[in-house]
């Protein structure tokens, strides 16, 4: 393959080999002795959380303790296989140091392990174990495992290749005079260890990707639910706004006929009002067409108000929910948008009670207060909470209620009660209409 701009043609095999060597250099040569201390273990696991505070703080050093214990074990093996005390101490030290270095400089510990293995082979004496003496065997195997855990799977492959190359060179060049070698056992055991670590790496990466995907999916689902609730509210409010705009257009058209010999300026003003109202209706229908779902059908009946609440409570009682209604304050007519939102909030709260607290009773309180409308829907705890099955639609109703309250500039709280039930409290502000003395 000829590179762009000319030059020497390179075959795909050559480019593959160069990429492999580049990966080897990046993994094991570039900044090989960089300082990378082993971080403390997280102490928020299900088992660690049950420990006392002192032990929980020390549990973060468990990986460091395990690596140190493995290094001490390699040192003891080196001591046990050396007859000379001085040689035993030296071989034990050379077996321990590479393992401890993995705690701070993992890649550098690999090269130090090769150097330590060569030094122990020169200092120690053996006729059967070559080129790894018993202590070096345990030390190098520990270093490979720890470095593989602290790096990525590609690095584990390169370490195994270098280990095989070291064993091959040591056997062919310096293996004379030895009855047996242990390169094959080293390659087999290290391959199994590195394979297990690689599988662990792949599974951990997959779990992180799945967790991230689930988080994104949950966020998108929540966002889609919010948009659906807002679309539903917009479709419902379309009828309310369209009704008011139609009344404005009709009154503007009929107003000139109520006055004898109206001036031309007044007729033009009412004509302009009617044209603007009709134009607003047209644009409103276009907006509704944008937010309308494919399976949406326009309702035949008018949008419900608080006057229709008794029929809703009767249907709920037929469904098995004992509910009572309490009205306080002077009942008065409210803006249609407020009445519609109040009706939907009570409807959704009672639906949640049927869905999440079967067998419970509910109480609906409506308070006509100065400056607004207060709602309170309270349900008792279910008789058998352990038999209540989780509902797949949990949480969407609360979102819709909050959107309606936020649209009207109101306030809402929804939380469990100390007795085990659930309470929804809403206040919807209503502008107070002031009447002058002349109009009175």
**Is 353 a domain residue?**
yes
Residues 312 and 375 in one domain: yes
**Is 189 a domain residue?**
no
pLDDT tens, residue by residue, 221-256: 778 877 777 777 776 666 667 666 777 777 777 777
**Is 159 a domain residue?**
yes
Residues 281 and 341 in one domain: no
Q: How confident is the model at residue 81 (pLDDT cuts 50, 70, 90)?
A: confident
Residues 311 and 403 in one domain: yes
Q: What is the pLDDT of residue 61?
A: 86
Alpha carbon distance 351, 316 (integer Å): 8
Q: What is the pLDDT of residue 295?
A: 54
The DSSP result for 300-313, as a single string, is SSPPP-GGGHHHHH
pLDDT tens, residue by residue, 323-346: 999 999 999 889 888 888 899 899
Residues 287 and 310 in one domain: no
Q: What is the pLDDT of residue 358?
A: 84
**Is 165 a domain residue?**
yes
Q: Taking the CB of residue 97, how many other CB atoms lie within 10 A of it?
A: 17
Residue 166 has pLDDT above 70, yes or no: yes
More confident residue, 268 or 296: 268
Q: What is the pLDDT of residue 389?
A: 56
Q: How confident is the model at residue 440 (pLDDT cuts 50, 70, 90)?
A: very low
pTM: 0.59
Q: Which of 11-20, 143-152, 341-350 has the lowest mean pLDDT?
A: 11-20
Residues 126 and 246 in one domain: no
Q: In what order do the strands lie in the sheet with 411-416?
A: 322-328, 361-369, 372-379, 422-429, 411-416
Residues 272 and 401 in one domain: no
Residues 329 and 264 in one domain: no
Mean per-residue pLDDT of the chain: 83
Residue 163 has pLDDT above 80, yes or no: yes
The DSSP result for 350-363, as a single string, is HHHHHHHSTT-EEE
Report how many domains make up the chain: 3
Write out the residue range of the structural domain in which residue 86 sits.
Answer: 12-181
CATH code (residue 417): 3.30.565.10
Residues 159 and 75 in one domain: yes
More confident residue, 280 or 387: 280
Alpha carbon distance 294, 314 (integer Å): 32
Alpha carbon distance 186, 163 (integer Å): 8
Residues 311 and 172 in one domain: no
Of 258, 291, 324, the position where a domain reaches its end is: 291
Residues 166 and 275 in one domain: no
Residues 279 and 313 in one domain: no
Q: Which of 23-37, 64-78, 328-342 has the highest mean pLDDT?
A: 64-78
Residues 322 and 253 in one domain: no
Q: What is the pLDDT of residue 411?
A: 93
**Is 57 a domain residue?**
yes
pLDDT tens, residue by residue, 175-192: 776 777 889 999 999 999
Q: What is the pLDDT of residue 126?
A: 66
């Amino acid at each position: 393959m000829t590179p762009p701009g000319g030059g020497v043609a390179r075959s795909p095999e050559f480019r593959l080999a160069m990429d492999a060597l580049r990966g080897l250099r990046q993994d094991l040569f570039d900044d090989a002795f960089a300082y990378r201390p082993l971080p403390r273990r997280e102490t928020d696991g299900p088992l660690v959380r049950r420990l006392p505070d002192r032990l929980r703080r020390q549990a973060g050093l468990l990986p460091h303790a395990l690596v140190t214990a493995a290094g001490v074990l390699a040192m003891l093996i080196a001591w046990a296989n050396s007859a000379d005390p001085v040689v035993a101490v030296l071989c034990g030290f050379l077996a321990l140091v590479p393992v401890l270095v993995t705690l701070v400089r993992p890649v550098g510990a690999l090269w130090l392990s090769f150097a330590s293995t060569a030094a122990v082979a020169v200092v120690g004496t053996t006729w059967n174990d070559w080129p790894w003496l018993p202590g070096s065997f345990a030390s190098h195997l520990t270093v490979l495992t720890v470095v593989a855990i602290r790096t990525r799977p590609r690095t584990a492959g390169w370490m195994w290749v270098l280990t095989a190359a070291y064993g091959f060179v040591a056997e062919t060049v310096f293996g004379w005079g030895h009855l047996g070698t242990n390169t094959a056992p080293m390659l087999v055991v290290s391959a199994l260890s590195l394979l297990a670590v690689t599988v662990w790496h792949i599974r951990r990466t997959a779990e992180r990707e799945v967790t991230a995907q689930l988080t994104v999916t949950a966020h998108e689902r929540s966002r889609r639910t919010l948009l659906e609730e807002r679309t539903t509210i917009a479709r419902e409010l379309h009828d309310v706004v369209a009704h008011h705009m139609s009344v404005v257009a009709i009154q503007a058209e009929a107003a000139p006929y109520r006055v004898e010999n109206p001036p031309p300026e007044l007729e033009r003003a009412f004509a302009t009002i009617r044209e603007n109202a009709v134009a607003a209706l047209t644009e409103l229908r276009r907006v509704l067409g944008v937010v309308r779902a494919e399976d949406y059908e326009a309702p035949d009946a008018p949008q419900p108000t608080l006057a229709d609440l008794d029929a809703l409570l009767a249907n709920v009682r037929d469904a098995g929910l004992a509910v009572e209604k309490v009205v306080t304050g002077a009942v008065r007519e409210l803006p249609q948008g407020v009445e519609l939102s109040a009706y939907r909030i009570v409807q959704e709260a009672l639906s949640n009670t049927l869905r999440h607290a079967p067998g419970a009773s509910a109480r609906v309180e409506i308070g006509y207060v100065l400056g607004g409308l207060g709602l309170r829907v309270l349900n008792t705890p279910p008789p058998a909470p352990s038999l209540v099955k989780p509902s797949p639609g949990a949480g969407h109703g609360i979102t819709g209620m909050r959107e309606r309250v936020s649209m009207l500039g109101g306030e809402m709280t929804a939380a469990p009660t100390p007795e085990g039930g659930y309470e929804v409290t809403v206040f919807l502000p209503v502008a107070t209409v002031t009447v002058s003395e002349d109009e009175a």
